[in-house]
């Protein structure tokens, strides 16, 4: 019989040694710019019965010493859980715990989610860690949120299906009307006779055309052909080609015009130096 009693006492001692708990716990409600309020004590077995009142500009300060088997210890996790009994929603605020088990936390009213704001909120101390020690969740105190804050809190955003969106895209860009293009084309072509007549009136000499073609036939032919080809490229770009289709072809005609134009203009310069127009 005596051995049974001793075994029971040892089992009870081992059970208590395996449990997380806390001691020297106090809670204090304080205004951000006011004097510190009085501290109210609570324990893991006895919560504060009187409801605290937190203003919208204040904060709650919780301080305690965490123990394991009656000795101060630092757990892996320790936080204050604030719950709305009306909605069942809960938010956790981790505590800062030193190696000697002393824990401290300041919960500002602004840090509490608007979804939790209610006439009364419940705060619990939650402690847990690795190993076989039993975790702890103990109701510590309750406090009231300001009535005006509860009234102005906006409902949380709900991500649900939205109405179908119908996109309206602009039509592809089109060239001007053909009739308009033809008008401008004939206008440009009509300027060519006027240009030739103006050259004749200003004394342009076409007698040296055969001599110029005989001195540098390839240069003159390629230079004139490159000018015509460049006009054709611009026409194709205007009608159907895109920019990156036009650029390589225009580059080829540009190189031909540069190389052949050098020879053609050199021949013209030589005739000018000889007094021939």
- Residue ranges per structural domain of the chain: 18-149, 177-206, 207-277
Top-confidence residue, 174 or 129: 129
Question: Across the strands, what pairs with 53?
Answer: 144
Closest C-alpha to 145, from 12, 257, 52, 31: 52
Lowest mean pLDDT among 22-36, 54-68, 203-217: 203-217
**3-class SS of residue 187:** helix
Tell me the two tokens of residue 248.
Answer: 């390589």
Per-residue pLDDT tens digits for 223-270: 888 989 998 988 888 878 888 888 999 999 999 989 888 888 888 788
Q: CB neighbours of 72 closer than 8 A, spacing ≥ 6?
A: 65, 66, 100, 101, 102
Q: What is the pLDDT of residue 86?
A: 82
pLDDT of 10 over the 50 cut: no
Task: Give me the pLDDT at residue 178, please.
Answer: 74
87, pLDDT greater than 60: yes
Q: What is the pLDDT of residue 105?
A: 94
> What pairing do the DSSP bridges indicate for beta strands 77-83 and 90-94?
antiparallel
Mean pLDDT of the chain: 82
- Fold that domain 18-149 belongs to in CATH: Immunoglobulin-like (2.60.40)
Sheet holding 121-128, edge to edge: 52-53, 136-144, 121-128, 77-83, 90-94
Average confidence (pLDDT) over 136-154: 74
Q: What's the pLDDT band for 15 if we cut at 50, 70, 90?
A: very low
Give burial (CB, 10 Å; 0-12/13-18/19+) of 90.
middle
Percent of the chain with pLDDT over 70: 83
Strand segments, DSSP code E, in the chain are 20-31, 36-42, 52-53, 58-68, 71-72, 77-83, 90-94, 96-97, 102-108, 121-128, 136-144
Higher pLDDT, 153 or 106: 106
| Neighbour tally for 163: CB within 10 Å | 5
Phi first, then psi: give them for residue 71, nearest 5 degrees.
Answer: -115, 145
Residue 127 pLDDT:
94
What single string gives the DSSP state of each residue in 24-37? EEEEEEEESSSPEE
């Amino acid at each position: 019989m005596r051995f049974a009693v001793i075994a029971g006492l040892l089992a009870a001692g081992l059970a208590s040694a395996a449990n997380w708990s806390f001691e020297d716990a106090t809670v204090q409600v304080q205004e951000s710019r006011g004097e510190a309020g009085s501290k109210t004590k609570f324990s893991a077995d006895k919560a504060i019965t009187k409801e605290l009142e937190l203003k919208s500009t204040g904060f709650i300060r919780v301080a305690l010493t965490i123990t394991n088997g009656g000795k101060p210890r630092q757990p892996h996790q320790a936080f204050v859980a604030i719950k709305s009994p009306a909605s069942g929603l809960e938010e956790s605020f981790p505590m800062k715990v030193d190696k000697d088990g002393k824990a401290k936390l300041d919960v500002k009213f602004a840090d509490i989610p608007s979804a939790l704001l209610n006439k009364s909120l419940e705060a619990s101390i939650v402690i847990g860690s690795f190993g076989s020690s039993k975790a702890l969740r103990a109701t510590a105190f309750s406090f009231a949120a300001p009535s005006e804050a509860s009234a102005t809190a906006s409902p949380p955003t709900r991500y649900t299906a939205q109405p179908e969106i119908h996109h309206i895209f602009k039509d592809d860009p089109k060239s001007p009307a053909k009739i308009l293009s033809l008008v401008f084309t004939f206008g440009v072509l009509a300027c060519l006779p006027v240009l030739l007549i103006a050259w004749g009136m200003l004394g342009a000499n076409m007698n040296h055309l055969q001599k110029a073609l005989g001195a540098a036939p390839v240069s003159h032919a390629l230079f004139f052909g490159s000018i015509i080809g460049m006009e054709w490229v611009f026409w194709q770009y205007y009608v159907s080609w895109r920019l990156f289709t036009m650029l390589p072809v225009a580059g080829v005609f540009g190189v031909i015009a540069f190389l052949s134009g050098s020879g053609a203009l050199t021949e013209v310069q030589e005739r000018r130096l000889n007094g021939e127009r």
